[in-house]
Structure 1
Amino acid sequence: MTAHTCLRWLTLGGGLAVILGTLTGTAAATVSEDPGALCSTLVPPDCSPVVKIKGDLRTKGGIAAAAALRQLGTPFSWGGGSSSGPTRGVGMGALTTGFDCSGLTLYAWSRAGVRLGHYTGAQFRQGRRVPLGDLRTGDLLFFGGGSGDPTHVGLYLHGGVMIHAPKTGDVVRTTQFLNSPYYRAVFRGAVRPA
């Protein structure tokens, strides 16, 4: 695989696209204002968008989504992540630099000027609840935990897709959560940070 291999690209709206590629085995993301030109430069002619994110990237949610997308492929690290980016985690994440789920959302929203706690339960209480049918790019999606605090958080992109840091041994990735029997069964709600 060469440094110019594009795996896929995501149109973010406002004429921006994120190119997700591989640089000697490491995931990379590049943002361009001309997705057609960048795509045609980096990939074969069959390049097609995988995810479209509607809305203006100048909104706080759009800024948070773009920041999270730039972290695709970053390792999961329990307790990892800060407003500055990936960090060494704690406990079982102490040897890995990366993000846990709430560290990724904390980082992404900090790029939009919004401060979130580094705990899923705290983030669940930081903002306005949003019905599933009213989701916007950047909204936080919460999962699990029964009647206690949720145990997982992701950031909504568009079309039923979220970006999240799933678990130890994995990396920051996108997931089609609306069509997932697992995620739909443990969905707890969505919050739009203020």
Structure 2
Amino acid sequence: MKKKLAAAVLSFSIILTLGAGSAFADSKMDKVIDTAIGSKYVAGGTSTNGFDCSGFTQYVFNKIGIELPHQSGSQYQMGTAVSQEEMRAGDLVFFNTSGRGVSHVGIYVGEGKFAHASSSRGVTISSLSEKYYVNRYVGAKRIMSTDAYQTVATDVPDHDDVE
């Protein structure tokens, strides 16, 4: 019960943080990420029973039909590099947390924030502007084509919105 309550509170706070105007709100990818928020960190984990960072990104992308390998360094070899100014929701963000190259990955969700499996906090949303991440940022990669992005990472229109 406590985990569900904590996940609900965290989800609500994320909604408030991201805001209803986020490019990521109500998207297919957002819904997948939302189901994983609050999951614990487990080394090698690839399910909502527990994730590591690359297991989390692999899980989310698999749910939207894109296969990723289960290793942050291997994921970094994919896609097209994009600058922080060019990032859009669904891009992967990479960090050197070990001092030995790419060792952490998350999914950019917009407004300077990313979803990831933190070894200390489990699946959560963090800010790219936090000193820890600023000092360890390696780069971002675009995995999805523009067509795929339009399908899974932008708002899903409500039927009520159709005139």
**TM-score bracket for this pair, using the shorter chain length:** 0.7 to 0.9
In structure 1, distance between residues paired with 2:60 and 2:43: 17
Aligned: 1:113 with 2:78: no
Aligned equivalent of 2:125, options 174, 184, 189:
174
Q: Matched residues in 2 for 1:66 and 1:190: separation?
A: 22
The DSSP-based 3-state class of the residue aligned with 2:36 is coil
Deviations 1:140-172 (A, max 9, x none): 1000168854010011111111111110x5321
How far residue 137 of structure 1 moved from its aligned partner, in angstroms, is 0.7
CA drift of 1:49 comes to: 2.1
Unaligned runs of 5+ in 1: 1-23, 30-38, 40-47, 87-96
Higher RCO (CA-CA < 8 Å; seq separation 6+)? 2
After superposition, what is the alpha-carbon deviation per residue over 1:15-35, rounded to whole angstroms, capped at 9, x for unaligned?
xxxxxxxxx212346xxxxxx
The residue number in structure 1 matching 2:159 is none
Give the residue type in structure 2 aligned to 1:186.
Answer: R
Deviations 1:104-127 (A, max 9, x none): 000101111110000000100111
Following TM superposition, the consecutive aligned residue runs of length 4 or more in structure 1 with deviations greater than 4 angstroms are: 145-148
Equivalent residues in 2 for 1:31-180, closer than 5 Å? 49-52=16-19, 53-54=22-23, 62-81=27-46, 85-86=47-48, 97-144=49-96, 148-167=100-119, 169-178=120-129, 180=130
2:17 partner amino acid: V
Query: Could you give the per-residue CA deviations for residues 69-113 of structure 1, whole angstroms, max 9, x where no partner exists?
Result: 2211000000000xxx33xxxxxxxxxx30000000001011111
For 2:43 and 2:99, the matched residues in 1 are separated by 23
| Equivalent pairs, count | 135
Higher helix share: 2
Unaligned runs of 5+ in 2: 145-163
- Structure (1 or 2) with the larger CA radius of gyration: 1
Shift of 1:65: 3.4
Query: Considering only aligned residues, what root-mean-square deviation do their CA atoms show, in Å?
Result: 2.3
